[in-house]
Structure formats: C-alpha cells, structure tokens
Homo-oligomer: A and B are copies of this chain.
Amino acid sequence: MKILIAGSGAMGARFGYLLKESGNDVLFVDTWQDHIDAINKNGLQRIIDGVDIGPIHIPAVKPEDVVGHYDLVLLFVKSLQLDDMMQRITPSLSEDSRVLCLLNGLGNIEIVEKYVSRDRIYLGMTLWSSGLKGPGVLNAVGSGSIEMQQVNNLESDFDAKLLTTLNDAGLNAAYSKDVIQSIWHKVSLNCVLNTYCTLIDCNIGEYGAYEKHQELTDLILNEIIAVGKKEGIEVIYDIVANNIKGVFSPEKAGGHYPSLYQDIASGRRTEIDALNGAIVKLGEKHGVETPVCKAITLMIHSKENVNDLRNN
C-alpha cells in the first residue's frame, strides 16, 4: 500500500518504519526541515527499547513536494497544524485515498472533513507511545495498540485491507464501535494531567502526591462528563479516574512531564484548544457551564503569550 505519514515526528516515525518494514511504500511528510534533512541523509535512526537497531531509509519531504497519489494517509500532526497540513497534502489525495486520523484531542475530524468526505475517514485512538532524540533519531519504548472506526460506521472493502496492513506491521489494530468514547477517555486524562502539571509546574508523580489531587481531577472530569452527555458520549468517571491514578507511580509515567508542559517549556504553541478548550466550546454549544476548563484554557494561552512576549 502507498502510505503517506503526515506528521513524521515521534509517533509518525515509529508507525512509518514498521509499515515500511512490512512491505509498504512509505513517505514521510513533515515541515521540520532539520528532521527531513537528517532522515534523507542518514536514514531514520532507531533506538527501540534502548537498543540502536540501525537506520532505515524512507524518503522524507515537505507537504508541497509529494509526488503522485497515496492510498492511505496517517495523520500524526499536532492538532494545531492539522488544518494547514490537510490543505497542503490534499493534491496528493485521489478519490480513493483513505485517511486515518490518529491525533490526540477533540475537533480533529471536523477539520479533516473539510478536505476529505467522511466516507473516506477513519478515526483511531492509539496507546502506542514514542519519542524523538533530536532530528532524524527515533527513541521509542514498549508496545501499544490501535482502536479504530470508520467515522460514519460504513463498511467497505478497504476495512480489511487497512486492518491487515496495520497488523502485518505489528501495530495491533482492531475495529471498535467505541473509538469516540475511547478518545474522550484519553482526552479526559490529558485535560487533567497536561494542564495541572503545567500550571502547578510539576511532573505526573508530584501531581499525584498532593493529598487533594482527586478534588482537582474531579473539577475537570465533572465538566467533561456533563458536556460529553450532551454530545451523546458517555464518559465513564471510574475509567478515567483510574487511568489517571494508574500513571502516578515512577514505574509508569510518574517522572514524566506531559507534552503540553514540554510545549510551554520550549516556547511552543500548545494543543489546549483540542483539550479543555474544546470542552469549553462544546459546553457553550449546549449551554453547559465549564468555568474550570475555561480558566485553565485561558491560563495556558496566557502562558503562550508570556513566552511570546519574552522571546520577542
């Protein structure tokens, strides 16, 4: 299958090399010039579970430089860059191209469907993780899985091809009717840990070490559950609360600073509008009050603004 990886950072690179190794024609698409150059010059360097398994040669290009059409696009950009990326890769899509959207956060499908009809969009949620150790160097541990769904629950011949392609690459994919609920559960965890760790200025273990962390968690979860209900999505409190508590220990993610924390620390824009900001927007649509998500969204944007002020 001809597969275009739109957003070839940590996750895209990991998925891309596994799909290449299992026999697909993979193209990395990214906007980070140093990363593109490093991959094209030396191949993608790979440190997997701490072991250097050597480079793999996969071409990397900017969105404008894609030649030909692709059967499948895996979307792995940050939600902030999604609209721009979709616009730039649309010429590389044929009428048969399918898109698998694996981004974190809410509101992504609404952007993708501006460029691709819903019958060609798959929505996925993955528990794989990954990291980069500088341009062109993948540094990933452990394994994961993918839960996916055709967004309109349509069936087609492509379903089996997609499943086989992903599983031949060892990506542990399965269809589900509850991907949207799984995405909301993942979003809920990120709405709590990404934001509080950033505002409190702590890692995940330190967040969990505060005796009243559950009260903080609940202030956000209660708003998400109320908004989800109006959207027809059941966000199950116990599942999310346990997922959050489950990552506090040092053996899990306790020592980890969430991605949004790292974005602020590096002066980058954050994905807050696809997390708590999306909850606020949906709350407004349904007349559900979300004051805590609103305060948190505004504080994170204010932090971005402070970064801008200090860097200019």
A interface residues with partner B (beta carbon < 8 Å): 196, 199-202, 206-207, 209-213, 215-216, 219, 291-292, 294-296, 298-299, 301-303, 305-306, 309
Contact = CB atoms under 8 A, between A and B. Distances in A.
Contact of A200 (B209, B211, B219, B302): B302
Given A291-B219, A291-B291, A196 B306 contact: no
A207 B302 contact: yes
Contact of A299 (B216, B294, B298, B309): B216
Contacts of A296: 295
Q: Indicate the member of A294, A302, A303 with the most B CB atoms within 10 Å.
A: A302
A298 B216 contact: yes
B295 A216 contact: yes
Nearest to A203: B306
A199 B199 contact: yes
Contact of A298 (B212, B298, B303): B212
Nearest to A222: B291
Question: SS class of chain A's interface: helix, strand, loop or mixed?
Answer: helix
A303 B302 CA distance: 19
Nearest to A220: B295
A282 to B, nearest CB: 17
Given A209-B305, A305-B209, A309-B209, A200 B299 contact: yes
Given A206-B309, A209-B309, A200 B303 contact: yes
Given A299-B196, A301-B212, A302-B210, A294 B219 contact: yes
Contact of A302 (B196, B294, B295, B306): B196
B215 A299 contact: no
25 contacts: A196-B299, A196-B302, A200-B302, A201-B303, A201-B306, A202-B302, A202-B306, A206-B306, A206-B309, A207-B302, A209-B305, A209-B306, A209-B309, A210-B305, A210-B306, A211-B305, A213-B302, A216-B295, A216-B299, A219-B291, A219-B294, A219-B295, A219-B298, A291-B291, A291-B292
Contacts of A291: 219, 291-292
Interface centre among A210, A294, A301 (most CB of B within 10 A): A210
A304 to B, nearest CB: 9
Q: Report the 5 A-B pairs with minimum CB-CB distance, sorted nearest first.
A: A210-B302, A210-B305, A202-B306, A199-B199, A200-B302
